[in-house]
Amino acid sequence: MHTRRRKALTALMLGCLALVATTAGACGSAKPGQTQLDVEIFGDMGYRDLYAKYEQSHPGIKIVEHVVSYDDHHKNLQAHLLGGSGTGDIEAIDGGYISQFRVMADKFVDFRDYGADPGQWLPWKSQQATGTDGSLMGLGADVGGLAMCYRRDLFAQAGLPTDRDKVAALWPDWQSYIATGKRFKANAPDGVAWFDSGSNVFNAIIGQAPVGYTASSNKVVVADNPAVKRAFNLAVEAVQAGESAKLSTFSQQWNAGFQRGSFATVACPAWMTDTIKQNAPQTSGKWDIATIPGGSGNWGGSFLTVPKQSKHRKEAAELAKYLTAPEQASWIFRTQGHLPSQASLYDDPAVLGNTNEFFNNAPTGRIFTEAAKNLRPQYQGPKDGDIGPLIGLGITRVDKGKQQPAQAWHQVLKDVANATEP
Amino acid sequence: MAVFAPSSVLRRRPNTATEKENRWSQRRHRFDLSGTPYLYIAPFFVAFGVFGLFPLLYTGWMAVTQWNRDIPGSEHTFVGLGNFTRLIHDDYFWNALVNTAAIGVLGTVPQLLLAMWIAHLLQRKMRGRTLLRMGVLLPNITSVAAVGLIFAQLFGRDLGLINWGLSLVGIDKVDWQSGTWQSWVALAVILTWRWTGYNSLIYLAALQAVSDDLYEAADLDGASQFQKFRTITVPALRPTIIFSVIMSTIGTIQLFTEPLMFNPGLSPTGGDSRQFQTLAMYVYEQFWTHGKYSYAATVSWAMFMIIVLAVGANYLLSRRIRSSS
């Protein structure tokens, strides 16, 4: 090749590379002088309009939101914290993972340094995000609460009362819930089970115990804690009575189960009302919500945290405080249905008076906030997120007839040992 | 006794400009002949060093510590071969190994036989032969995760298409995800779907070396299609079969995406009784779900050693076959 032509080609290639390099960095970044805050979340938390309002009142701030799937988001956060770089300025953490990240509380800012008061939130919510040295590493965003969503039409077909107060009176505790299930099964339409999955029932029961899988010393007590065995036995009793539809939560068949009316009751947190609406829009008005047996519970809910890796800690902390403040939390509840975790809102008539048309105008504001308020703080250890599903699998094995309860419990203990040993 | 070489010619420095240029171009030429080949292959080795060798060694280092996500500072605890001892007594590791081997055998043996038969058929002259040869590779170029998800739906217990098809011929619906051998068969089907075309094209390429005269002679002798397959095609494919067995072994020991997608909820536990948890899924579960970083590294290294053993055994077997033929 002629030298001149070769030199021209080389120059062209370098020029193209330079062009690509400069434009690649330019997408979506803040203008010079502006501070860009990256908010990393795992689902729609309803913040988009709030960003616009915040940017208006804080001219130097530009907010960019990234949404990644639930599992990937938490794995990425884990990997970035380990690697030392790559986290956003605000990272949302789900209630199921917060106890795992609390071990690394020293990698997150202490919001008390920025004027946050842990007493602002429900006690158990703040406790979940409090490190061993008392630092507040996460601000409570939403909670799940817990209630029992049921199908009024299927209840009527089986000869059970349908009014939500009468229904709540049917099951003040879990034993009576299982007994009502047997009553339902006696006259139920074909192919309809009492509840969707034994592991969901188990999770609801164990959530009400004063001590769960881990003692406050961080020692795993699954084998010793009688409450865990009792919850396991109750769930096993329910599945052995044939009350379960044997579905895995969030699976395809579980989604379809709402449409096909495969089960008459399901333990539902506030955010699941949206899921039910999406999965089975044509069942509008057929559902209702009653208090959960035991009267208290929580499933899910999230926190906003600011990793210390952030280069704009103060601005990020201020934004996080804004997004979780009572005024914004109340607005999110009224427009999106995410249950707030601010204690002051639990006496707010605007929140308490909320109803849901899809669920036969059930007073969702009152029911879910009561369940969340009544929840006794249960210490969550770092391994709890692993242990719950393992016990759930044990109940599933009994449900499918693969193991006897004693065998299943034995394997659960083996699984827990495998998960918790170093 | 010193030897004095005639120095005047050899050691005189190049003085003139042309002589200097000649010397420089001579050096460049010599370097071009002997040095540039190394430069050409260097990118691969640099990439291998960074992305292959270094992770291998680092994982080996992790395997002799007790690094756990939930124990700060545990990356510095040295435990020697303690993790490997634990591994030998770990039922779940052996369970994953059995699962991987079973899915591997079920997914590879029928698949390679089918690939041989398809390659034999694609040898014949027929209309649209090139189109068929290309079409047979289509399953291989699809996205593994997407295909895994779709097959998981097809194998669904209540709503899956396959159970519906079985019900048309009077067979009760099978719980593919829940049973042990049922899940193995389902995963073997997914693997066969994906890799048969790929292997049949490899065999087809090898068959190009077989002359048509052999097939014509067999036709004249009145051989059936299957007899031609057994006596001409299969012997010709022996070295290629060995190659594809080695590649399939390495591939199935690392099987991960298809079983992961097969689980409702995408959990790496491999079903409620770990019935289809493969070795790679076990590593993933130990690392990400349980945060046992060092133990996961141990299982990874065990996988590596198993692959080395399997390939070694394959190689020795193939040497015996080759020396006997």
* Residues A104-147 pLDDT 10s: 899 999 999 999 999 999 988 999 999 888 899 999 999 988 99
Cα(A70)–Cα(A66) distance, integer angstroms: 12
Q: What pLDDT score was predicted for residue B15? A: 65
Other CB atoms within a 10 A radius of the CB of residue A318 amount to 18
What mean pLDDT is predicted for residues A97-110? 91
Nearest to B68 among A249, A403, A422 (CB): A422
Q: Which domains does chain A have, with CATH numbers?
A: 35-143+300-352 (3.40.190.10), 147-298+363-420 (3.40.190.10)
Specify the residue for token string 């270094």: B54
Chain centroid to CA A368: 14
Q: Which residue of B has its CA nearest to A99?
A: B70
What is the reported pLDDT for B299?
Answer: 96
Q: Distance between CA atoms of A364 and A355, rounded to whole angstroms?
A: 5
Q: Is ipTM over 0.85?
A: no
Measure the CA–CA gap between B320 and B291, rounded to whole angstroms. 45
- Nearest-CA neighbor of A366 among A168, A223, A233? A168
Kind and range of the H or E element at A318? helix A313-324
Residues of A in contact with B269 (CB under 8 A): 389, 393
- Mean pLDDT, residues A91-110: 91
Mutation target among A70, A214, A255, A418 for the B interface, most CBs of B within 10 A:
A418
Pairing mode of beta strands A139-143, A339-340 = antiparallel
Q: Is B156 on the interface with A (CB under 8 A)?
A: yes
Rg of chain B over all Cα atoms, to the nearest angstrom: 28
Tokens of B255: 């099987």
Using DSSP's 3-state secondary structure scheme, residue A196 falls into: coil
Q: Which amino acid is at A122?
A: L
**Distance from C-alpha of B297 to C-alpha of A180, rounded to nearest angstrom:** 49
Contact A382 B156 (CB under 8 A): no
Q: Which helix (H) or strand (E) holds B151?
A: helix B144-154
- The Cα–Cα gap between B173 and B157 comes to 7
| The pair of three-digit structure tokens given for residue A236, joined into one six-digit string | 């096993």
Q: Are strands A193-195 and A263-268 parallel, antiparallel or unpaired?
A: parallel
**Run of H or E residues at A61:** strand A61-67
- B238-253 vs B91-123: helix axis angle to the nearest 10? 150
Nearest to B272 among A386, A393, A414 (CB): A393
The reply to whether B172 touches chain A by the CB within 8 Å rule is no
Q: Which of B272, B273, B288, B290 to mutate to test the interface with A (most CBs of A within 10 A)?
A: B272
Number of helices (H), then strands (E), in chain A: 18, 10
Say if CB A324 and CB A305 are below 8 A apart: no
What is the Cα–Cα distance from A37 to A316, expressed in whole angstroms? 7
Q: For chain B, first and last CA: distance in Å?
A: 62
Task: Decide if A100 and B153 are in contact by the 8 Å CB cutoff.
Answer: no
B64: chain A residues, CB-CB within 8 Å: none
- Note the pLDDT tens digit of each residue in A53-88: 999 999 889 999 999 888 889 989 999 998 889 999
Angle, vertex CA B303, rays to CA B299 and CA B308, nearest 5: 145
- Return the pLDDT at A111: 93
Please return the burial class of A41, using the count of CB atoms within 10 Å of its CB with bins 0-12, 13-18 and 19+. buried
Contact residues, chain A, for B69 at CB < 8 Å? 78, 100, 103
Contact A136, A130 (CB under 8 A): yes
Helix (H, G, I), strand (E, B) or coil at A307: strand
Instruction: Determine, for residues A251 and B290 on separate chains, whether the beta-carbon distance falls below 8 Å.
Output: no
Main-chain phi, psi angles of A258, to 5 degrees: -65, -40
| Res A44: pLDDT | 80
In chain B, which among 2-41 make CB contacts under 8 A with chain A?
Answer: none
**With 60 as the cut, is the pLDDT of residue A276 above it?**
yes
Burial of B177 (0-12, 13-18, 19+ CB in 10 A): buried
Let me know how long chain B is.
325
User: Which residues have a Cβ under 8 Å from the Cβ of A143 and sit 6 or more positions away?
Assistant: A95, A122, A125, A270, A298, A300, A301, A339, A340, A341, A372
Q: Number of helices (H) and strands (E) in chain B: give both, helices first.
A: 17, 0
At B125 the pLDDT is 82
Residue B266: list chain A partners with CB under 8 A.
71
Q: Are A40 and A66 in contact (CB under 8 A)?
A: yes
Q: What is the pLDDT of residue B286?
A: 95
As a whole number of angstroms, the distance between CA A40 and CA A68 comes to: 8
Q: Is the pLDDT of residue A27 over 50?
A: no
- Return the pLDDT at A376: 86
**What is the dihedral angle through the alpha carbons of A271, A272, A276, A279, rounded to the nearest 10 degrees?**
90
Other residues' Cβ atoms within 10 Å of the Cβ of residue A55: 16
Helix (H, G, I), strand (E, B) or coil at A121: strand
Percent of chain A with pLDDT over 90: 58
Look-up: residue for tokens 């339902």? A184
Q: Say how many C-beta atoms besides its own lie within 10 A of residue A63's C-beta.
A: 24
A70, A76, A103, A258: best mutation site toward chain B, by most B Cβ within 10 Å? A103
Structure tokens at B188: 């073997």
Contact between chains at A396 and B272 (C-beta distance less than 8 A): yes
**CB pair distance less than 8 Å for B290 and A386:** yes
The confidence score (pLDDT) of residue A271 equals 86
Cβ neighbour number for residue A205 with a 10 Å cutoff: 26
Contacts of A250 in chain B (CB under 8 A): 264-265
- The CA-CA-CA angle for residues B190, B196, B197, to 5°, reads 120
Q: What was the pLDDT predicted at B33?
A: 84
What CA–CA distance (Å, rounded) separates B113 from B117?
6
pLDDT digits (tens, 9 = 90+) for A334-373: 887 788 999 888 888 888 888 888 899 999 889 998 999 8
Fill in the amino acid letter for A359: F
* Closest residue in B to A106 (Cα–Cα): B72
Pairing of strands A61-67, A35-41: parallel
Residue B273 with chain A: CB contacts under 8 Å = 393, 397, 402-403
Q: How many CA atoms lie within 13 A of A234 on its CB side?
A: 22
- Provide the whole-model pTM: 0.84
| pLDDT-based confidence at residue A26 (cuts at 50, 70, 90) | very low
Report whether B283 contacts B303 (CB < 8 A): yes
Task: List, in order of start, the domains of chain B with CATH numbers.
Answer: 82-324 (1.10.3720.10)
- Report whether A121 contacts A342 (CB < 8 A): yes
Question: What whole-number distance in Å separates Cα of residue A98 and Cα of residue A74?
Answer: 10
Nearest residue on chain A to B150, alpha-carbon basis? A252
Answer whether B254 touches A (CB < 8 Å). Answer: no
Non-local CB neighbours of A178 within 8 Å, separated by 6+ positions: A234, A237, A238, A241, A243
The residue in chain A having the minimum alpha-carbon distance to the alpha carbon of residue B157 is A253
Query: Residue A411 — very low, low, confident or very high, per pLDDT cuts 50/70/90?
Result: very high
Q: Which residues contact A211 (CB under 8 A, 6 or more apart)?
A: A221, A225, A227, A378, A379
Quick check: B273 contacting A, CB < 8 Å?
A: yes
Contact of B85 with chain A, judged by CB distance below 8 Å, is answered with: no
Element (H, E) at A340: strand A339-340
Residue in B163, B308, B171, B162 with CA at minimum distance from that of residue B249: B308
Question: Does residue B71 sit at the A interface (CB-CB below 8 Å)?
Answer: yes
Q: Identify the residue whose tokens are 């913040």.
A: A47
State residue B318's pLDDT score.
Answer: 78
Phi, psi of B35 (to 5 degrees): -95, -40
Average confidence (pLDDT) per 10 residues, chain B, 325 residues: 54 68 84 86 94 95 92 85 94 96 95 93 87 92 92 89 93 90 95 95 91 88 87 87 91 94 85 93 94 95 94 84 66
CA atoms within 13 A on the CB side of A205: 27
